[in-house]
Structure 1
């Protein structure tokens, strides 16, 4: 969506995203059909380029206990997703698809793609739990512990719906009767934040891989 302005970005993202359905039995949000809507910009997702949407200034503890600055890898591509490990559907599916797309790239290109998963359930997603869950998809994925005012501010800045709901204690049955409803959106920031692509649902592995290649540019 070339030529989009800041106000239009907010309106478009807010209108298209809705709530992702991570709660058991919930219906997917209205964004599921907007990916690949026929733009001629070469991207399967929605391109936010004029002005671009930069990586948020977010510093959170990572699974290794160190503070991680989301803006530190601005010379490469960063895919950002908010969720929680006990999500029964969108979160594991999205992480599996992004992992598969990253593996389709040459090794040198893979090294320039950072995938960041921010948990919105810090009570259950301790660093060891989050690390073990992410390792099921890709050991290079970065896991950050969010679910606080800082992440809520970033969700607002990115025009994403705030995470709502609850998850049952870890001792209860898997997923229990509750869950978080949250935005099932992947933001992919290109090098130097010159281009940003939003995937709001229904994206295939091939589409993710194609957009990663396009953002990375010539080898």
Structure 2
């Protein structure tokens, strides 16, 4: 009985997963900010064909106990179905890794050709206390910007904890205080009081920003952030969005970005390298501070330097 219930649910789960992949792919083709590997797309297409066979098999069995013949569909075991779900999860993970690497290459190429990538710029938002906040309020120190929403079930909390851990490492190593900034892409629900409560859970210095729909759209566009509501309800929904941290220098200019695949220690080490480079060009910036991780810190430092 339990196997029958699981079998009946698997096609729906598969359709949900494949549907999400399709919608993300559509966002990519419309300039949503995602890049996908052709090989992964072929794997996804093959997986869709196999699920089509499975769905027909289960539908045939549901009709009066009639079983589909081998000419209609290939027999699929419980083990095969589970392996197919695991394969789907693997494709999703590989796609995200490929996306991070692809976007890093694109930004690096833009910086080499044009001197600086066309990312970032002026913005006007509202902070967690309901006061006006602009890009000029971040001048003087490095900042890490992350776009998300307070109702995010898992990704945003994980990323916020990661950035909090990384800036704590940098402060412990060097005394430099990088400013963490959370910018909501869900202004409909994320009012200042809610944002204040949310960011306080992750770091005491984290700045939470929201605003009206037009201003949130403007800052998201300037940072090339993709986001879109998912769900039919006007009040109960999620927001699909880019998972990226943007590093801003003390002059307010975009430096680089970090994807989901960068862990806390790697993030701290790589940000610290950019801080050290800035100090070389601006001797008055934290004069006398030794801007490097301790000798024991890293395997991550060696990996980041490559």
Q: Report the TM-score, using the length of structure 1 for normalisation.
A: 0.71
Separation in 2, partners of 1:123, 1:78: 25
| 2: CA distance, partners of 1:52 / 1:122 | 27
Select the structure that is richer in helix.
2
Q: How does 1:3-152 map to 2 (within 5 A)?
A: 14-16=33-35, 30-35=95-100, 47=108, 49=111, 50-53=115-118, 55-106=120-171, 109-111=175-177, 113-146=178-211, 148-152=213-217
1:207 to 260, 266, 282: 266
**Alpha-carbon deviation of 1:92?**
0.6
Report the CA distance between 1:32 and its aligned residue: 3.0
Look at both structures and tell me which one has the larger radius of gyration over its CA atoms.
2
Cα distance, 1:97 vs. partner?
0.1
Per residue, is there more strand in 1 or in 2?
Answer: 1
Distance 2:231 2:186 in 1: 8
- The Cα offsets for residues 18-62 of structure 1, whole Å up to 9 and x where unpaired, read as xxxxxxx9x67944345468x9x9xxxx65642244642111110
Aligned-partner Cα distance in 1 for 2:169–2:239: 31
Using the size of structure 2 for normalisation, the TM-score is 0.52
RMSD: 3.4
Greater relative CO (CA pairs within 8 A, separation 6+): 1
Superposed displacement of residue 189, structure 1: 1.5
Structure 2, unaligned stretches of length 5 or more? 1-30, 37-88, 280-288, 290-306
Q: How many residues align?
A: 188
Q: Which runs of 5+ in 1 are unaligned?
A: 1-11, 18-24, 171-175
Residue 141 of structure 1 and its aligned partner are, at CA, apart by 0.5
Counterpart for residue 52 of structure 2: none
